[in-house]
Amino acid sequence: MSHEEFKPILLARQGKPNSHKLATYQADGGYQALAKALAMKNTDVVDVVKASGLRGRGGAGFPTGLKWTFLPKDLNGPVYLCINGDESEPGTFNNRVLIEQDPHQVLEGIVISSFATRTTTAYFYLRYEYGRCYRVLKDAIDEMVDNNLLGKNILGSGYDLDIHLHRGACAYICGEETGLIESLEGKRAWPRIKPPFPAIEGAFRRPTVVNNVETMACIPHILNRGAEWFMSMGIPRDPNNTRDAGSYGPKLYCISGHVNKPGLVELPMGISARDLIDKHGGGVWKGRKAKAVVPGGISMGFMSEKELDTPLDFAGPGRVGCLGLGTAAVIVIDDHTSMIDVLYNACRFFAHESCGQCTPCREGTAWSTKILERIREGRGKLSDIDVLLEISSSIGTIPGTTICGLADGAAWPIKTAINKFRPEFEEYIKSGRKSESRSLAAAH
């Protein structure tokens, strides 16, 4: 299927009047997938999702059905499903739009996934900043309870489920799945050492699955239209690489930064960054050129202008030195912008959001920010560049020095900015200029 012929699936109801209401959703066939799933064996639902090749949309791209199979077969107590709605990766806003405009699509996916995983209590962890989403979800859940789509004996199937909304408190680390679990339990959101993985020991020390909001929105469509239909979209797995799981299905791409038309676009996986910007983002603003592009949230690092033909599937960004596809949040930076200011902004973000548990992350993010502050004040040294690179290669789960991946996300913007724009850093430091950016000192 070409990108031109594609009709939105997850965003099909965007902009329709009352798109958030149960009646609108049901008029479009909503909750038929749930009825279908409830008539199946729960393990057959798992098999369909597994066969579809659906990979988690939250950033790591782990195969969803496979994750569900890690739950113990014999249960001696409850299983929990936690929905990760702590969307906080800079550039990312697809969960917000999905929930505000079409909450029932997400909720139907949650009920089906809960049934598949034998969950009877699901927790929807939602970032505090999404107040409108919170109220929309609350109303939608009430509608479901009133219509026997939630609660006891759902649609006469004998299956019971409650969904509880749980609001966060403005901390990026709660998007890390074990940080989320700790936060849900009422503690500071310090990620846990794995193993044990949540499927074995998660929320309240019970087997737990943590799934992303966009992932949930895909589930009803997979049940309705089948695994083969889902696999007809996107980039197939590389037959020469046994570790490649492919990039199937539709994907929401968030476009922001220096484009004429920032917004949310749904396309089959694998469009190039250049086509996304030119055909769907209205091109770079003010007739300028792109200097750098973030492929999937700031923690993925930067692509240079030369690399913009890279396909935005799970494997593409990694081939040009980025950390991965991440959240598919594309941030465009024009050629009038200083990469020193951009990198400083990224480093400051991670210094602010490091949870402080692991010393390499806490110190590495703080010092990289301080070094860049000094460079921006015109007091940088050429040797600072290599110190920044040294920090970036020594923090994170990849060098094995931290518990979670936040520090890998902090390292990649540094690595890619310096490796791809080193002459700009050298020229800036030699010039001794002060940054023209009006940003305030690193308060907080």
Partner 1 sequence: MSELSSTELSSNAKKVIEEHLGRYPSKQAVTLPALHVVQEEKGCVSRKAIKEIADILELSPAQINDTLSFYGFFRTEEDPLGKKRVWICRSLPCMLRGGEELLAELCERWGIQPGQTTPDGEVTLELAECLGACDGAPCMLIDDELSLCVTADDVEKQVRGRA
Q: How far is CA 50 from CA 46, 53, 75, 121, 230, in A?
A: 6, 6, 21, 22, 11
Nearer to partner 1 among residue 137 and residue 355 (C-beta): 355
Only one residue has tokens 């050492």, namely 193
Q: How far is CA 11 from CA 83, 102, 107, 253, 343, in A?
A: 20, 8, 15, 11, 33
Nearer to partner 1 among residue 38 and residue 300 (C-beta): 300
157 CB neighbour count, 10 Å cutoff: 14
Nearer to partner 1 among residue 204 and residue 229 (C-beta): 204
The Cα angle at residue 406 between residues 402 and 411, in degrees rounded to 5: 90
Shortest distance, position 133 Cβ to partner 1, whole Å: 9
Nearer to partner 1 among residue 189 and residue 218 (C-beta): 189
Shortest distance, position 289 Cβ to partner 1, whole Å: 15
The Cα angle at residue 169 between residues 164 and 175, in degrees rounded to 5: 75
Nearer to partner 1 among residue 117 and residue 256 (C-beta): 256
Shortest distance, position 439 Cβ to partner 1, whole Å: 4
Burial bucket for residue 129 (CB in 10 Å: 0-12, 13-18, 19+):
middle
Shortest distance, position 53 Cβ to partner 1, whole Å: 28
Nearer to partner 1 among residue 29 and residue 356 (C-beta): 356
Residues at the site binding partner 1, with contacts judged by CB under 8 A = 78, 87-93, 95-96, 121, 127-132, 134, 162, 164, 166-172, 183-189, 204, 206, 254-258, 262-264, 294, 298, 329, 331, 333, 337, 341-342, 345-346, 349, 352-353, 355, 437-440, 443-444
**Tokens at residue 167, please?**
């609001």
Element (H, E) at 125: strand 121-126
9 CB neighbour count, 10 Å cutoff: 18
**Tokens at residue 269, please?**
């996986």
Shortest distance, position 297 Cβ to partner 1, whole Å: 9
Shortest distance, position 107 Cβ to partner 1, whole Å: 17
Element (H, E) at 210: strand 208-212
